[in-house]
Amino acid sequence: MRHALAGLGAVVMLLLGSLQASARDAGAGAGRRSQVAVRLGTLSFSVGEVEDRIAAMPAFQRASFGATPSAIARRFVMEIMVPEALLELRASATGIADKPPAAYAIERARSTGTVRAVRARVGEASAISNDEVAAYYEQNRERFSSPIRFQIWRILCKTRDEAQAVLDAVKAKPTPANFSALARDHSLDKGSNLRGGDLGFVEEDGSTAEPGLRVDLALVRAVAKVKDGEWVAAPVPEGDYFAVAWRRGTRPAFVRTASEAAPQIRETLRKLRVEYETDELLARLRATRLQGLDDTPLDAADIATTKP
């Protein structure tokens, strides 16, 4: 790399003169920007390309390359653009870009760059208006509030007498390990007996975090009358059975106002917009670029799915 840079130095320096001269000629317009500033083998940089690359840098970074426009241009070309071009020439000569690891990395970089461009076009979350935030809040109020929830451990027994005997055994040795053992031995609820009778957190209407699973309201109401860590004093009728119930904890009810939830809502809306824009772009690309797709031969592909 150093020998290649040294050999190209004189050529680059001479060609940079056109960049500096063109920079002084502000009236040349498009002709000035299209003029070649640097040429390396089959690659070349126009004045406009150099200007655009430099203009894209933050001001503090641009200033680190020099004190004058010509000094900045000269150093940026020599230290950034020329090494990049030399590496590109070498990669082209050796076919690196066509090899799977490099090809995948290049495609991933292009994909990532495209997604970044979509995000930039969508804009920052802070630009989302208060009206949009308020509308989302009204449409999704359940996401920003939660009713009180009780954590319930329960042993479901066939008869009241059995439930009372289990409750007495729990009170005689009031430990989670003992309750779990009794649940495994006695509870008719096979969905929770191996979890020590843990029903999880249950809302006042009997709903749980598990889809489709509801708890008998009589059990919830009985648990609501005791404090965290206390047992319900007597077996609770639950349909044709009787339950021994232990209130293990509580998650209090809460409500977040639209103002409190605004930062989260803005981030959510921005994410949804990025997803929408990305899906729209992919749909257009599939419609215009994806042609002749026939994936049936893949059914016969012999591809190892496990490591040797």
Q: Judge if 89 and 157 occupy the same domain.
A: no
The answer on pLDDT for 279 being more than 70 is yes
pLDDT tens-digit map of 231-257 = 999 999 999 999 999 999 999 999 999
Residue 298 placed within a domain: no
Residue 274 placed within a domain: no
Q: Which helix (H) or strand (E) holds 11?
A: helix 2-24
Residue 203 placed within a domain: yes
Report the CATH number at residue 161.
Answer: 3.10.50.40
Please tell me which residue, 2 or 224, carries the higher pLDDT value. 224
Residue 221 placed within a domain: yes
Domain of residue 23: give its range: 2-102
Number of domains in the chain: 2
The answer on pLDDT for 22 being more than 70 is no
The pLDDT score that the predictor gives to residue 304 is 66
Q: Judge if 158 and 92 occupy the same domain.
A: no
The answer on pLDDT for 159 being more than 80 is yes
% of the chain residues with pLDDT over 70: 88
Domain end position, chosen among 223, 252, 281? 252
Phi, psi of 199 (to 5 degrees): -90, -5
Domain end position, chosen among 205, 226, 252? 252
pLDDT tens-digit map of 104-153 = 887 888 888 888 898 898 999 999 999 999 999 999 998 999 999 999 99
Please tell me which residue, 164 or 12, carries the higher pLDDT value. 164
The pLDDT score that the predictor gives to residue 220 is 95
The DSSP secondary structure of 224-270, one letter per residue, reads HTS-TTPBPSSPEEETTEEEEEEEEEEE--EE--HHHHHHHHHHHHH
Q: Give the angle subtended at the CA of 208 by the CAs of 205 and 210, to the nearest 5°.
A: 150
Residue 114 placed within a domain: no
- Of 59-63, 84-88, 181-185, the poorest mean pLDDT is in 84-88
Q: Judge if 57 and 153 occupy the same domain.
A: no
